[in-house]
Amino acid sequence: MPASGGAPAPTPRAVAAAALERATAHLLSLQNEQGWWKGNLETNVTMDAEDLLLRQFLGIRTDEQTRATAQWIRSQQNEDGTWATFHGGPSELSTTVEAYVALKLAGDDPQAPHMASAAAWIREHGGISASRVFTRIWLALFGWWPWSRLPELPPEVMFLPKWAPLNIYSFGCWARQTIVPLTVVSAHRPVRPAPFGLDELHSDPADPFRAPPMASPTSWDGLFQRLDRVLHAYHRHAVGPVRRLALGQATRWIVERQEADGCWGGIQPPAVYSLIALHLEGYDLGHPVMKAGLDAFDRFTVHTEDGGRWLEACQSPVWDTCLATIALVDAGLPADHPALVSAAEWMLGEEVRRRGDWAVQRPTLPAGGWAFEFDNDTYPDIDDTAEVVLALRRVDHPDQERLQAAVERGVAWNLGMQSKNGAWGAFDVDNTSTLPNKLPFCDFGEVVDPPSADVTAHVVEMLADVGKARDPRTRRGVEWLLREQETDGSWFGRWGTNYIYGTGSVVPALVSAGIPTAHPAVRRAVRWLEEHQNADGGWGEDMRSYENQEKWSGRGDSTASQTAWALMALLSAGESGESVERGVAWLAATQLPEGTWDEPHFTGTGFPWDFSINYNLYRLVFPVTALGRYLHGAPRPESGGHPARSLPVPVSAASVDRADGPGTAQSGPRSDR
């Protein structure tokens, strides 16, 4: 029907095509001349507060750094005086404590309304004594909290063999990188003179450093509390030569794992604690290791237009580049487009060819794969490797022999990193012990790396793409995914929020691996997505689904990235009806004039619930992928895309069809657990 004035209204496909054209142009404009993409990675103000505290401890804090950081921290404060860990999230005690201390360090008057309201809220919620261990460690560095009231983890843990419980390799890579330097710090128990007191943050001034009540000796908490008492006694009577040997081994371990860019693992927590530990072990600020480590923080610093300053906890160029490459091919760019060739060339140069900590569990596995960051050769990750392989196979690179060799190494490395249950974790193999999470020392986020549905799905999709859909190892991954489906039809998302991300990852992988779109697991997933579509046509899920699955699973304000994930699942399942059309229409209607989308909500995770991430490029790359697949369909195998084939239901039909049966992973909640 012609619109008023006689001009025909654009068709939904025309509207989608126009939105895709704008988004594609904007994404291309963001590519670095070296071939990579990188969006800012937002977390929370503890990164900025701890940066100031680190510089105060080392004696290098400048007035300008302090002013700019304090300006940013103030800008993130809630009306009630508190700080949250994600956009729109609830007030969080430890974050509020650290932000308050940083602002006081910057000279903010404790009687000022924004400071007084923060202090009052902290006291009402238990004061400093109720904050997490890592917050109290920062305070102990300045005498605001006694070291004797912190859990003890001695550097002698370095002597434990890899088969022993609680050896450093029983922790996930991010945790072991943090824990090793903290054992050094804990052994030294340093105290720098505090420039002010924090009495106003104690809920009970008469007993500000009270110890928690002892738990039952028959419980894990009680057992580890009593072990902690033993370790504290050992600290007072540690054998000098043994302690020095342990400190030396820990120090060497830290130095050996410094990356080429000066950072450790490409993430903030290991970097700050490593610098403190090495400084305590006699490394002066002019030492090349210390200088490179401090310089790395400059590359993590983001300066705002109004003069503020904040720090990325990590940087994601490899991840962003492979996702952007996949998106642009799905959008219709030719495989030999210069932007794609440049991206592939850069990714080939980022391949990790040296052995890292993963080799402790896989000593004979040849090196190969990709990390998340610019420079991180110690910890390539399984997720990035799978997606880079998918991206490279979509590009018509002039040196196909070189590209294929890198792909083959990445595939072999991923297959070698399969856990014994058939699934994949992010960095390590069979990193599933529950003991590390029970340590009093480990009260913040995940410290182990069990297999997850989203990582496993990406590996399965990649293996199907390279022609290994029938490989027994791929089928074991498929079986695991089908077992892990929630009873409502969704999948838990470990590295993205949450059930929408898990479902958006798994459904395309299952279909790529040959599971028919009529399979009950796929139909349950489609039904769940349709039931959780918002009235505006989009999809969204709040971070609180990690804490309250029943209330928040698949629920939240619509976002561009989560809407795209839902569409990617529906399209792969062969859907083309009202839900898809409404989702596409929402993306087109909410697109900004420059071609991207506004997305203040956090849709990524470091640790589910405890550490949330807003990947600034997610709001663009995933809508481009979804719109491209809506308009052009899934790429064919000959162009390096998803295989268009259907295989028989694999292995044991009884175990596969019973997708709501017992799972084997510990990566997240299931409604039947």
The CA distances from residue 363 to 168, 258, 356, 428, in Å, are 17, 21, 10, 12
Divide the 673 residues of the chain into consecutive groups of 10 and give the mean pLDDT of each group. Answer: 67 96 98 97 97 97 97 97 96 98 98 98 96 96 95 93 91 93 96 94 86 72 75 83 96 95 89 97 96 94 95 96 98 97 98 94 96 91 98 97 98 98 96 85 83 98 97 98 98 97 98 97 98 98 95 97 98 96 98 98 93 97 98 63 38 35 39 36
SS (H, E, C) 105-132: HCCCCCCCHHHHHHHHHHHHCCCHHHCC
Cα dihedral 43/47/49/50 (nearest 10): 160
pLDDT, residue 405, reads 97
Q: What is the pLDDT of residue 497?
A: 96
pLDDT, residue 635, reads 55
Cα separation of 612 and 449, whole Å?
A: 17
What is the fold, at CATH topology level, of the domain defined by 45-311? Answer: Glycosyltransferase (1.50.10)
Written as six digits, the tokens of 198 are 């924090």
CATH, domain range 317-417+452-657: 1.50.10.20
Task: Please tell me the pTM assigned to this model.
Answer: 0.92
Report pLDDT for 642. 40
At residue 670, the pLDDT reads 42
177 vs 605: CA distance, rounded Å = 19
Cα 193 from Cα 174, distance rounded (Å): 30
Query: What integer pLDDT is reported at residue 207 of this predicted model?
Result: 81
Instruction: Convert the pLDDT of each residue in 572-624 to its tens digit.
Output: 999 999 999 999 999 999 999 999 999 999 999 998 988 999 999 999 999 99
Question: By three-state DSSP, how is residue 431 classified?
Answer: strand
Identify which of 301, 291, 293, 302 has the alpha carbon closest to the alpha carbon of residue 263.
293
CA distance 372 to 350: 10
Q: For residue 42, what is the DSSP state?
A: E
pLDDT score recorded for residue 324: 98
Answer whether 479's CB lies under 8 Å from 460's CB. Answer: no
Looking up tokens 């401090």 gives 294
Contact 47, 311 (CB under 8 A): yes
DSSP 451-511: --HHHHHHHHHHHHHTT-TTSHHHHHHHHHHHHT--TTS----SSBSSHHHHHHHHHHHHH
pLDDT at 366: 96
pLDDT at residue number 259: 92
pLDDT for residue 5:
61
pLDDT at 208: 82
Cα–Cα distance for residue pair 18/587, rounded to 1 Å: 11
Q: Which residues, listed in sequence order, are joined to residue 258 by a DSSP beta bridge? A: 264
Question: Catalytic one among 51, 330, 383, 465?
Answer: 383
598 catalytic per annotation: no
Place of tokens 């140069």: 349
The pLDDT assigned to 488 comes to 97
Distance CA 654, CA 524 (A): 17
Q: Where in the chain are all domains bearing CATH 1.50.10.20?
A: 45-311, 317-417+452-657
